[in-house]
Amino acid sequence: TPHSAKPDWHARARALTIDGRAWIDGQRVDAASGATFDKHSPVDGRRLAAVARGEAEDVDRAVRSARSAFEDGRWSRKAPAARKRILLRWSELITAARDELALLETLDMGKPIQYALGVDVAATARTIAWYGEAIDKVYDEIAPTGSNALALITREAMGVIGCIVPWNYPMIMAAWKLGPALATGNSVVMKPSERSPLTALKLAELAVQAGIPPGVFNVVPGYGHEAGEALALHMDVDAIGFTGSTRTGRRMLDYASRSNLKRVWNELGGKSAFLVFPDHQDPALAARTVAGAMYFNQGESCNAPSRVLVHASIADDFVAVLREEAPKYRPGDPLDASTVMGALVDEAQLRTVMGYIESGRAEGARCIVGGEQARTGSGGPYVEPTLFDGVTPQMKIAREEIFGPVLSVLRFQDEAEAVALANGTDYGLQASVWSHDINRAHRVARALRAGTVHVNQYDEDDITVPFGGYRQSGNGRDKSLHALEKYTELKTTWLRI
Ligand code: NAD
């Protein structure tokens, strides 16, 4: 009806005022140096904000604020049920601000507005609420010791958690850290990606409105080698919750070893395999599923199933379905509510992705869909959904994380080869097995070296299960009650009775 006209996201974008200052001690502040960096939108190139360029001095100020909040107990010593009420209010405020948050996310990193709203904001609100709901239902333990004493095993908040997050799901990655870290009573200093700093700042504003005391959640935007390094090296930070590339994750361990041996929780890259066996009854469904999961978020997902391993006997038919399916994800204007693929985060990412596409061609893979920069109205970093057939395991596109909409098809002859191929990278984030032979499905799922294995599906939208990787995809797990372990210390207390 005329009254339910769709929102005009372009008009809203023009009307939006964006504050790029840092959040320290419950207030907006400029960087101590007064420095800023310009954040441009990949959607249309426009300058969104001058963002505070935090450095060591700003990080130190935020850590001191976080420490004093932790020590005075204004959050850390509240009853869990009291923290719960505030987290639930925060979640409600996030939902109430959904249009603004979604718009900021889309303008900042280029994803389609319908997913920013329906996936990113929704998952962020749900994550905060879930940890709020959980935290007054978690009990500690008494050990079954044989002596005349009670041994209590309790979990205590660590103190100050540094969170360093990437740009591909800025809000969700922030929420996966904030939910468990704050619910358990810690204070947080967050360093969002310089490529997408805006929604974290808005989340901090809403947190204070919800009643999270000043100093408990601080956001210092800035560059990795400045604010990020200062946070990871800080002597008064107890743990780093990091999500990002394997390369930077390696540095996190180095920073910890050079400073105070803070705990480092790394959630890193992936090159997830999607295995299709000839005993699956609906290979076309498998093809549609892998295309949907691969091209979602412009292929900028750590768990993108970027390698399809297909049994040679069904590979030609499978590829024929993919060839029909992939072009449906053609990029469009991210602010148009019907767009399914948006812009890559920036021109640098465009060059990286185009470089991988060139390498695939140069190494002899056949590019059968896409392979080009997309022609959209605004120019900008848009890439066609791309499909390579005839990929072999030694090729760069089969081994390295591309972080763009590029899907590679490899063929296998038998189950052992499929498993060896799947496990044949440095990563181990996720995998998917498509088979209707129950024994095979279990056997292969067990043999795969990955933190999550999907059987006959590829969904990843449930906060109740752990998320994380084997090997160089990281350690620790985000989501679920297991994430509470990352931000708490285990204490044993002996009581003579
Ligand atoms: P990145 O490693 O370049 O940056 C991540 C964060 O680290 C940013 O905030 C950045 O500023 C900071 N950083 C960069 N260099 C630093 C340094 N020298 N010292 C301190 N901090 C530094 O990663 P990205 O490009 O932002 O994100 C993409 C990567 O994240 C991909 O590899 C993707 O697979 C991974 N990722 C993993 C998960 C997961 O849960 N496993 C989820 C999302 C993304």
Query: Which two three-digit tokens encode residue 3?
Result: 């009254």
User: Mean of the pLDDT values across residues 145-162?
Assistant: 95
User: Which residue, among 99, 122, 132, has the nearest Cα to 169 in the 3D structure?
Assistant: 122
367 tagged catalytic: no
Tell me the per-residue pLDDT of 340-372, one tens digit each, with 9 for 90 and over.
999 999 999 999 999 999 999 999 999 999 999
Whether 297 has a pLDDT exceeding 50, the answer reads yes
Q: In this structure, are residues 487 and 76 in contact, taking their beta carbons and an 8 Å threshold?
A: no
Task: Name the pLDDT band for 190 (thresholds 50, 70, 90).
Answer: very high
The phi, psi pair for 446, rounded to 5°, reads: -70, -35
CA of 109 to the centre of ligand 1 (A): 14
User: Mean of the pLDDT values across residues 59-81?
Assistant: 98
Tell me the per-residue pLDDT of 110-126, one tens digit each, with 9 for 90 and over.
999 999 999 999 999 99
- Measured CA to CA, the distance from residue 145 to residue 143 in angstroms comes to 6
Q: What is the pLDDT of residue 357?
A: 98
Compute how many other C-beta atoms are within 10 angstroms of the C-beta atom of residue 36.
Answer: 17
Query: Which two three-digit tokens encode residue 224?
Result: 């990795």
3-state secondary structure 280-302: CCCHHHHHHHHHHHHHHHHHCCC
Tell me the per-residue pLDDT of 235-292, one tens digit each, with 9 for 90 and over.
999 999 999 999 999 999 999 999 999 999 999 999 999 999 999 999 999 999 999 9
Query: Which residue among 193, 399, 425 has the greatest number of ligand 1 atoms within 8 angstroms of its CB, and so is best to mutate?
Result: 193
Note the pTM of the prediction, 2 decimals: 0.97
- Measured CA to CA, the distance from residue 38 to residue 357 in angstroms comes to 29
Burial class (CB within 10 angstroms; exposed 0-12, middle 13-18, buried 19+) of 459:
exposed
Q: In this structure, are residues 213 and 188 in contact, taking their beta carbons and an 8 Å threshold?
A: no
Query: Which residue among 245, 253, 429, 477 has the greatest number of ligand 1 atoms within 8 angstroms of its CB, and so is best to mutate?
Result: 245
Say what the ipTM of the complex is.
Answer: 0.97
User: Which residue, among 268, 272, 284, 270, has the nearest Cα to 408 in the 3D structure?
Assistant: 272
The structure tokens 């991210």 sit at: 334
Query: Which two three-digit tokens encode residue 467?
Result: 């998320």
User: Mean of the pLDDT values across residues 121-134?
Assistant: 98
CA of 138 to the centre of ligand 1 (A): 31
Q: Indicate which atom in ligand 1 lies nearest the CA of residue 169.
A: 43
Whether 53 has a pLDDT exceeding 50, the answer reads yes
CA of 162 to the centre of ligand 1 (A): 14
Q: Indicate which atom in ligand 1 lies nearest the CA of residue 246.
A: 32
> How many helices, marked H, and strands, marked E, lie in the chain?
16, 19
The structure tokens 């997913």 sit at: 115
Please pick, among 194, 267, 300, 325, the residue that the annotation labels catalytic. Answer: 267
User: Mean of the pLDDT values across residues 25-34?
Assistant: 98
Which three-class secondary structure state does DSSP give residue 436? coil
Quick one: what percent of the chain has pLDDT higher than 70? 99
User: Mean of the pLDDT values across residues 64-86?
Assistant: 98
Helix axes 170-183, 198-210, angle to 10 degrees: 30
For residue 349, give the amino acid letter. Q
Q: Which residues pair with 149 in a beta bridge?
A: 496
86 Cβ neighbours under 8 A, 6+ residues apart = 132, 210, 211, 212
CA of 167 to the centre of ligand 1 (A): 8
358 tagged catalytic: no
For residue 106, give the amino acid letter. T
Q: What is the pLDDT of residue 7?
A: 84
Give the chain's largest Cα–Cα span. Answer: 77
For residue 82, give the amino acid letter. A
CA of 440 to the centre of ligand 1 (A): 36
Whether 102 has a pLDDT exceeding 60, the answer reads yes
Q: What is the mean pLDDT of the chain?
A: 97
User: Which residue minimizes the CA distance to atom 13 of ligand 1?
Assistant: 224
The structure tokens 């333990």 sit at: 141
User: Which residue, among 289, 320, 311, has the nearest Cα to 415 in the 3D structure?
Assistant: 311
Q: In this structure, are residues 256 and 481 in contact, taking their beta carbons and an 8 Å threshold?
A: no
Q: What is the pLDDT of residue 5?
A: 63
- Measured CA to CA, the distance from residue 270 to residue 391 in angstroms comes to 18
- Measured CA to CA, the distance from residue 395 to residue 379 in angstroms comes to 30
Q: Indicate which atom in ligand 1 lies nearest the CA of residue 247.
A: 2
The phi, psi pair for 70, rounded to 5°, reads: -65, -45
- Measured CA to CA, the distance from residue 165 to residue 175 in angstroms comes to 10
The phi, psi pair for 185, rounded to 5°, reads: 105, 5
CA of 244 to the centre of ligand 1 (A): 2
- Measured CA to CA, the distance from residue 119 to residue 113 in angstroms comes to 10
Which residues form the pocket of ligand 1, taking CB atoms under 6 Å from any ligand atom? Answer: 164-169, 173, 191, 193-194, 224-225, 228-229, 232, 243-245, 248, 251, 267-270, 302, 401, 403, 429, 467, 469, 473-474, 478
Compute how many other C-beta atoms are within 10 angstroms of the C-beta atom of residue 399.
Answer: 15
Q: Indicate which atom in ligand 1 lies nearest the CA of residue 467.
A: 40
Q: Indicate which atom in ligand 1 lies nearest the CA of residue 248.
A: 2
Q: In this structure, are residues 470 and 451 in contact, taking their beta carbons and an 8 Å threshold?
A: yes
